[in-house]
Amino acid sequence: MPMPTAPGPGEEPRDEAGLYRYHLRRLITWYLEALDPLQPDDFTWRPPAPQANTLAAICSHAISSAEWWTLSCVGDGPIERDRESEFAAESSWAEMRPRFTTFLARAKELLEGMTSERLGQISRHPAGDRMNRRCLLHTVEHLGLHLGHVESTIDWRRATLDQPDT
């Protein structure tokens, strides 16, 4: 798996909202860098293990969750979510990739100028007890967790095809 692109000079976040934007940008960039080089079959390949997920399912769940926790709970997007259908996704990477880049643009816009006071307010999460910053931190944590699943699945796929890392 190639190393993700390192941040450039001056990209260190300067405030709390900037910290979330920074990590969301890095994570989404890592997804793109990991998935863009793959062949279309790789994205829909199912590992030979009980209840294993395709990259399509993993990515559908990861981006759906990010959209919900960030754009719906912190923002004003729809609160309804069908988590189970996320794992049934059969999309290609070409079809799903725009969701990742659109999410990043919308999250950046949402977080632009957001104050620590606003981050400390209660979000729109249905439980009614989660601060906006907790929702954003969960998004960063969850995207990172599933990025690891993406990388492991890619390695597994390559091993089944006897392909060296690129």
**pLDDT per position as a tens digit, 127-145:** 999 999 999 999 999 999 9
The backbone torsions φ and ψ at residue 18, rounded to the nearest 5 degrees and listed phi first, read -65, -35
Burial pattern 60-70, b for ≥16 Cβ within 10 A else e, equals: bbbbbbbbbbb
Residue 11 in any domain: the answer is no
Task: Report the pLDDT averaged over residues 8-33.
Answer: 90
Q: Reply yes or no on whether the pLDDT at 112 is more than 80.
A: yes
Give how many domains the chain has, as a whole number.
1
Query: Which CATH number do you get for residue 121?
Result: 1.20.120.450
Q: Reply yes or no on whether the pLDDT at 53 is more than 60.
A: yes
Residue 166 in any domain: the answer is no
Q: Which domain holds residue 145?
A: 16-40+52-161
Question: What's the Cα-to-Cα distance from 68 to each of 17, 31, 63, 75, 122, rounded to whole Å?
Answer: 18, 18, 8, 9, 15
Residue 4 in any domain: the answer is no
- pTM of the predicted structure, to 2 decimals: 0.91
Instruction: Say what percent of the chain tops pLDDT 90.
Output: 84
Distance of alpha carbon 122 from alpha carbon 111, whole angstroms: 15
